[in-house]
Amino acid sequence: MKIFKQIKSSIYDKHYYKNIVLNETFKESLKYLLKLSLVVALLGVIVFSFSVPAISKTIKRGVSSFVAGYPDDLAVSIKDGHATVNKPEPYVVKMPDNLINSNDLKALEINNLIAINTKEPFNINKFHSYSAVSLLTNTELVLIQAERGAVKILPLSNMGNIEITKTLVLEKEIYINKILPWIMAFMVPFVYIILFIVIFISTIMLLFFYAVTVWVLLKLKGIKLSYLKSYQVAIHASTTILIFGVFSSFFGSLNNSLLNILILITVVHINFDTDSNLTKEEEIVLDSKNE
């Protein structure tokens, strides 16, 4: 297919880059970026698909642990936005052992799944004293976030009327296990669409900066391009950055802005060396295009 030939040439092909500068329109390069984003997103979703079984397994294990840890005689009722419980308060449900050992929970010093206190209003210090992932008050459900001290508050008025018992959570576990394969199957094309949009839009934005880098580098080499032509060259030169970004997702520390700039400079440098500089006649043609 033409796109794969273009990808190969965008990584290294001096004559291809000279043709971009002299003959190819900006619209053609933009179409290339669109197709490249689709290909890179496909590579990304293939990488993601390898983690789908592990994600599914983690969800099942988490739900199963929650159900196993839910007390048999605990009943929480939510009616008209207010919660009640059939236990003396504050009441704390301990975290299952296989969840408490996770690195995130260890870092937050969390060892309880939920604390229930419908008698007192929410207090952040009181919440942290429970060492729990969540807190149920009379009118809200409070969830701890990734960073210590950050919380998310959900009003119970949005949850309808419900009575949460062991029987109910067992039913929900069966339901989740039933629909989970369908959710994971839907997630793959959903991730593909999101990846494509993110890759295309973010690259368009980054290219405004990449174009300046290309413009400066080529000017130092004696090649004078307009900003629009530099942007066009940057579109093709960023091919290596996008492909590298997919595989470097396994090693987050390798994917950073400085490294991307170095890759861009390297690709432009090797495709516009002294042997590939424009002839006088070509410079005249280019000057007329830049005007």
Position 257 scores a pLDDT of 79
C-alpha pair distances (Å), 62 with each of 29, 52, 116: 47, 15, 20
Query: How many whole angstroms separate alpha carbon 154 and alpha carbon 152?
Result: 7
- The per-residue DSSP string of 108-177 comes to HT--EEEEE-SSS---HHHHHHTTEEEEE-SSEEEEE-SSTT-EEEEEGGGS-SEEE-HHHHHHHHHHHH
Whether pTM exceeds 0.85:
no
Kindly report the length of the chain: 291
C-alpha dihedral (34, 237, 240, 11), degrees to nearest 10: 110
C-alpha pair distances (Å), 226 with each of 1, 10, 15, 215, 236: 31, 20, 19, 8, 16
Position 284 scores a pLDDT of 46
Strand segments (E) across the chain: 76-79, 82-85, 91-94, 112-116, 132-136, 140-144, 151-155, 162-164
- Please state the domain extents for the chain: 2-52+183-290, 75-164
Sign of CA dihedral 113, 117, 118, 120: negative
Strands across the sheet containing 140-144: 91-94, 112-116, 132-136, 140-144, 151-155
Query: How many whole angstroms separate alpha carbon 246 and alpha carbon 273?
Result: 28
Q: pLDDT averaged over consecutive 10-residue blocks of the chain (291 residues)? A: 87 85 87 94 88 85 80 86 86 74 58 84 82 85 70 82 86 89 89 92 93 91 87 93 77 66 91 62 50 51
- Are 1 and 259 contacting, i.e. CB atoms less than 8 angstroms apart? no
Position 104 scores a pLDDT of 54
Burial of 110 (0-12, 13-18, 19+ CB in 10 A): buried
Q: Count other Cβ atoms within 10 Å, centred on residue 264.
A: 23
Position 203 scores a pLDDT of 93
Spatial CA neighbour of 271 closest among 20, 5, 4, 46: 20
Burial of 116 (0-12, 13-18, 19+ CB in 10 A): buried
Side chain identity at residue 251, one-letter code: F
**Is the backbone of residue 277 left (phi > 0), alpha (psi -120 to 50) or beta?**
beta
* Residues 68-99 as b or e (16 or more Cβ within 10 Å = b): ebbeeebebebeeeebebeeeebbbbebbeeb
Give the pair of three-digit tokens for residue 253. 């520390």
Query: How many whole angstroms separate alpha carbon 42 and alpha carbon 132?
Result: 40
Position 276 scores a pLDDT of 52
Largest CA distance in the chain: 89
